[in-house]
A and B are shown apart, each in its own frame.
Chain A
């Protein structure tokens, strides 16, 4: 989406070639600094020779285009490849040694490359450099240059983003945090460090090649130590360990000279001061603050639009308001399903599809959840049980099977304790344990954050259902979760930690099945064993290889369980 906007921008600025060129430069520095972020931010090595790799890429590409008429895209890629090889060469020696040796080696490298390029006059044109590098264009050279740079930036961005969420990126971050510890857990530190350096250098090479073709003129002094330091400043200011930081850093780097154009202040003073300020007072860079801003404020807009608005079931009147529910099947045996935290009635949809004949399923939204009304007062598990009581009364259910998932499990226990004669049998699926579920108070802040961040809710839900991969389903559940009453985000967690039914369930004679998926990360198997033992008639059912949401991850097992005892 953002990329599409970026791609359209130049067409509105057709008459303003200057601004397009500025944006093109921003793109180039973004690519180069992304490479530096891989080296410094993610793998924890220090490079101040980054401009040297730009220089290598620039000269390789230029010479290929001018002497051998290689198509521009291939020559740029070739520039990247050559820079990659040089990165391997420089990355190797400093491997086994602490970080600053690499800084020294790279500093030497950047000066050496500058000297070499100047002295090889026959090939590189010496100090004077190469002028009028051709750029084959069909229609409007500035816009085409911009789009070319944008395309490369996009590829690099996607590449880097994917890599950071894959094995390689994780390995880099492990090395950054503690190299010895990383090697102990089986990461080949040497390989990954060199790889980081080489890939970072490759991006610099690509950026350098783009620079050569965009500006049309290169000289050895364009890629000296000061350019390296500028790149370092871009990286640090934008945020070293971030994928989007380089963009902000480059924007500031390219825009700053215009801000100070009237004052004749040397830019290197300004950047030096900004650099020190950022390191001392905001070491995580701009991207971190933008991220926080997005999480805390900007995502509210997204949350507002993603919030569910269309009820999908029926309503029933209760004393505190309406309760929303869905009903499936038309068998003789009623089943009442109670959903968990951050879920809703349709969370059971995957299970309901497999519901065998002979059952009728009722799934209400608990009070405070989904389309049901808010319950006045504090959030308590017993109050939810009261809500269920009223629902049962209104629907005229009796002798039903009660299924509770997660928080719903606690509600189901509370309900069964209050109305033992109504429940034929109780099935607790990955339920909150019988003696309450503690959550550290520190995480309340995080829970409040859930209110405005659909993405976080969605990933939390997906995290708790690791083997169920239908993303659309989670989008739907998230839109319901956004309807949860504001007080309940933290309230539910408090309610879950403040009950203990261990004594009360001793009187409960109905059969109880406690289902537990062994990949559950919220609840431990000990807690579930304890819960099963607390019931006089309790039985623990372990399901292999599913997480906290057995009921949607392996509905077949639950159906089997349902029919087994009947």
Chain B
């Protein structure tokens, strides 16, 4: 049981990473990025291609991939979304669908639909702890994911609390117009949020790739789980996203283990619906009133 929970937490940490990126983009720009998974997928393909075909060092290509992802995020926001910001948010959503389709098409076009293996970043035998609670196995990959999540959340915390730009990001997510009046460069904050979000997608792709292999639809399921995690957390706070992801990971693992693997997506749908009905602002959200 405890090992199931550890495994669940490990998958959940990936979902948290997905959710952090989604929440960052949503909070600042107000757009739900449906192309998120495919951005991550595309970058993972790129990294795989750089290492296997071009023959670059894995870590160098990972850095290149993350930088590429950030640039892609900025470009998409600047040229795909900002021109239509004055239209409805639905049209921006549709643009992200368009990007989703283009990226998927490009990946199929360039690299085909075959599953490609992706190397584990860390290998080695798992750590095993024995005690009066039973046997307790911790894989090295889990440690990697946990430390990435911890590092990113701490970095985010310091960034949004103590740096000038981080406070600007918070201000823009609070109220774009007033932030603009206060002399904040809203455009650069928007661009940053998308750059950050897309690099998160790349990180998720790299972390998940060894497990799911590199393929055009490798991250679609992660994206849905990321949405579920963000919904659990209320779509407003990073804390919500992180804990939402971890909770979801554990639930999913237990369901997969004790009920059936085939019901995993259904369960997250049920979770979304239940949360939306009973906790419309998520488990960690706060109430906001709207105006006409």
Chain A residues within CB distance 8 Å of chain B: 40, 44, 46, 48, 90, 93-94, 96-97, 99-101, 103-105, 107-109, 111-112, 114-116, 118-119, 178, 180-181, 225-226, 229, 232-233, 236, 264-273, 275-276, 279-280, 283
Contacts and interface: CB of A to CB of B under 8 A. Distances in A.
Interface stretch (B7-15, B99-107, B200-208): B99-107
B109 interface: yes
A83 to B, nearest CB: 17
B43 to A, nearest CB: 17
A127 to B, nearest CB: 11
Contact of A276 (B34, B99, B292): B99
A111 B221 contact: yes
B220 interface: yes
Interface stretch (B67-75, B89-97, B131-139, B144-152): B89-97
Contacts of A271: 98, 101
B98 to A, nearest CB: 4
Contacts of B104: 226, 268, 272
B102 A272 contact: yes
A115 B108 contact: no
User: Nearest 3 A-B pairs (CB), nearest first?
Assistant: A119-B262, A272-B101, A269-B105
Contacts of B84: 279-280, 283
Contacts of A229: 97, 100-101
Given A107-B227, A276-B80, A267 B264 contact: no
Given A115-B264, A229-B97, A272-B98, A94 B105 contact: no
Interface stretch (B53-61, B166-174, B266-274): B266-274
Contacts of B101: 226, 229, 233, 268-269, 271-272, 275
A101 B280 CA distance: 10
Contacts of A232: 94, 97
A101 B231 contact: yes
A273 B102 contact: yes
Given A116-B262, A268-B102, 18 more contacts: A48-B97, A97-B280, A107-B227, A108-B224, A111-B265, A114-B265, A119-B263, A178-B292, A229-B101, A233-B97, A265-B109, A266-B109, A268-B104, A269-B101, A269-B109, A272-B102, A275-B95, A280-B83
Nearest to B76: A276
Nearest to A270: B105
7 contacts: A46-B90, A111-B224, A111-B265, A178-B292, A270-B105, A271-B101, A279-B95
B34 A107 contact: yes
B32 interface: yes
B106 A269 contact: yes
Nearest to A232: B97
Contact of A44 (B83, B90, B268, B280): B90
A82 B168 CA distance: 50
A226 B277 CA distance: 28
* B97, B106, B221, B276 interface centre (most CB from chain A within 10 Å): B97
A439 B101 CA distance: 49
Nearest to A236: B94
B149 to A, nearest CB: 22
B94 A279 contact: yes
Contacts of A118: 262
Nearest to A264: B109
Contacts of B280: 96-97
Interface of B: 32, 34, 80, 83-84, 87, 89-91, 93-95, 97-106, 108-109, 220-221, 224, 227-228, 231, 260, 262-266, 268-269, 272-273, 276-277, 280, 290, 292
Contacts, number: 139
A77 B165 CA distance: 58
A267 B105 CA distance: 7
Contact of B269 (A109, A178, A236): A109
A111 B263 CA distance: 11
B265 A276 contact: no
B222 to A, nearest CB: 11
Contacts of B87: 283
Contacts of B89: 99-100
Contacts of A180: 290, 292
B90 A115 contact: no
Nearest to A265: B109
B108 A266 contact: yes
Contact of A283 (B91, B103, B272): B91
A268 B105 contact: yes
Contact of B98 (A107, A109, A266, A273): A273
B256 to A, nearest CB: 12
Contacts of A112: 265-266, 268-269
B83 A97 contact: no
A563 B272 CA distance: 75
Contact of B94 (A44, A181, A275): A275
Nearest to A180: B292
A225 B100 CA distance: 11
A268 B108 contact: yes
B32 A104 contact: yes
Nearest to A111: B265
Nearest to B90: A46
Contacts of A276: 80, 95, 98-99, 102
A269 B272 contact: no
B231 to A, nearest CB: 7
A200 to B, nearest CB: 15
B36 to A, nearest CB: 11
A277 to B, nearest CB: 8
Contacts of B32: 100, 103-104
A93 B272 CA distance: 9
A280 B80 CA distance: 8
B224 A107 contact: yes
A296 B15 CA distance: 54
A93 B93 contact: no
Contacts of B80: 276, 280
Contacts of B263: 115-116, 119
A13 B115 CA distance: 43
Nearest to B96: A276
A193 to B, nearest CB: 14
Nearest to A275: B98
A69 B3 CA distance: 51
B262 A108 contact: no
A96 B105 CA distance: 35
Nearest to B103: A272
A97 B102 contact: no
Contact of A181 (B99, B220, B292): B292
A372 B221 CA distance: 74
Contacts of B100: 229, 272
Contacts of B273: 90, 93, 105
Contacts of A273: 98, 102
A116 B267 CA distance: 11
Given A105-B276, A115-B266, A272-B101, A99 B90 contact: yes
A222 to B, nearest CB: 15
Contacts of B106: 266, 269
Contacts of A40: 90
B92 to A, nearest CB: 8
A332 B148 CA distance: 103
A178 B88 CA distance: 12
Contacts of B266: 112, 115-116
Nearest to B269: A108
B91 A103 contact: no
A25 to B, nearest CB: 19
Contacts of A115: 262-266
A361 B83 CA distance: 64
A566 B264 CA distance: 88
Contacts of A111: 220-221, 224, 265, 269
